Amino acid sequence: MSAPKDPADLTSTPADAQADDNRADSSPIDLSAIRAAVAPGKPRVLVLANQKGGVGKTTTAINLGTALAAVGERVLVVDLDPQGNASTGLGVDRNARPMSAYEVLIGEAGIADAMIETSVPGLSLVASSMDLLGAELELADFDHRSHRLSDALDAFTSSEAGRAFSYVLVDCPPSLNLLTINAMVAADAILVPLQCEFFALEGLSQLLHTVERVKTSLNPDLEIQGIVLTMFDKRNNLSDQVAADVREYMGDKVYRTVIPRNVRISEAPSFGKPALVYDYKCAGSKAYMKLASELIQREQEIKHAAA
């Protein structure tokens, strides 16, 4: 993959930037090829992070997790956002969460204790709770407070139950607080959902600087796994321009697949369902299936490069 340029340059606009050609791709998805790429082993921990709210983090966590499960992967979603939208969007009522990520962080429960099955086969969840709002203050008195999630996930992924999973997707709050830092320390890599609007570029620049600081002091193996362009509106020239700018400066880190602005994706959470369950034929669902395929292929490339 080509290396990204200095994130400080992200706000400039190249005059001859090319728009993304993949958004109109309607080719069928080769599920057999995706399934063939699935390999057992220690699960990869991918954190969905962006301190800017409303960029599609939670929507991507829910639907990417569902798409990966649909092609045979075992996926665990960890909802670290006190708002709990990923938990609600997967149809898990607040009253059906006896343990949550809060208990995991403060050491009262392990991942396996807090994990619950969702209505999507192959997709499990460690739910959020409102207690996470005060977790940052409580964790201040803990030793290694930045490593609480990392320690819990290490214990889980080293177990027989944990090794049955292919991916752990961590949905972060829209801020760079101690919860997000815990996620980054636990992560193998970060997946960045990025809305196709101008101010998103500034947020990306700040996030990249934060990643570098975490990499320097807490998690030297942390990397940006990829950037997913979300809420793409082909009727809006700004979407084309932002997509072109991000591709110009981040190179191959940007996924070819873009997630379109789609009303069915917006409706699905109110029914407690992923978009792929609510309407698997809509443009948004098809885009997330393509994203899952591309992510698996990218993960295979990373494994082969490291071998």
Helix ranges (DSSP H) in 10-100: 31-37, 57-70, 85-89
Tokens of 97: 């969460």
- Within-domain flag for 13: no
Contact criterion met (CB below 8 Å) for 9 and 243: no
CA quadruple 6, 12, 14, 18: dihedral sign: positive
- Within-domain flag for 211: yes
Cα-trace Rg, the chain: 18
Helix ranges (DSSP H) in 218-282: 237-250, 263-267, 275-278
- Within-domain flag for 18: no
- Within-domain flag for 9: no
Higher-pLDDT residue of 91, 2:
91
Structure pTM? 0.85
* pLDDT confidence of residue 15: 37
* pLDDT confidence of residue 84: 93
As a whole number of angstroms, the longest Cα–Cα distance in the chain is: 55
Contact criterion met (CB below 8 Å) for 73 and 190: no
Tokens of 270: 């109110």
Whole-number average pLDDT of the chain: 86
**Helix/strand/coil for 52:** coil
102 vs 79, 87, 159, 174, 232, CA distance in Å? 10, 13, 21, 17, 34
Q: Tell me 11's DSSP state.
A: G
Q: State pLDDT tens for residues 173-199.
A: 998 899 999 999 999 999 999 988 877
Q: Which of 142, 201, 143, 171 is nearest to 76 (CA)?
A: 171
Q: State pLDDT tens for residues 19-48.
A: 334 444 444 554 444 444 444 578 999 999
- What is the domain range of residue 79? 41-306
Q: What is the mean pLDDT of residues 87-110?
A: 92
Q: State pLDDT tens for residues 141-180.
A: 888 899 999 999 999 999 999 999 999 999 999 988 999 9
- Within-domain flag for 23: no
Rounded Cα distance between 277 and 210, Å, is: 35
Tokens of 250: 């981040």
- Number of domain units in the chain: 1
Contact criterion met (CB below 8 Å) for 274 and 257: no
Q: State pLDDT tens for residues 208-261.
A: 888 999 999 999 999 999 999 999 888 888 888 888 888 988 899 999 999 999
- Within-domain flag for 107: yes
- Within-domain flag for 281: yes
Q: How many CB atoms lie within 10 A of CB 158?
A: 10
- Within-domain flag for 34: no
CATH of the domain at 104: 3.40.50.300
Contact criterion met (CB below 8 Å) for 180 and 215: no
Percent of the chain clearing pLDDT 90 (strictly above): 63
The H or E element containing residue 78 is strand 75-79
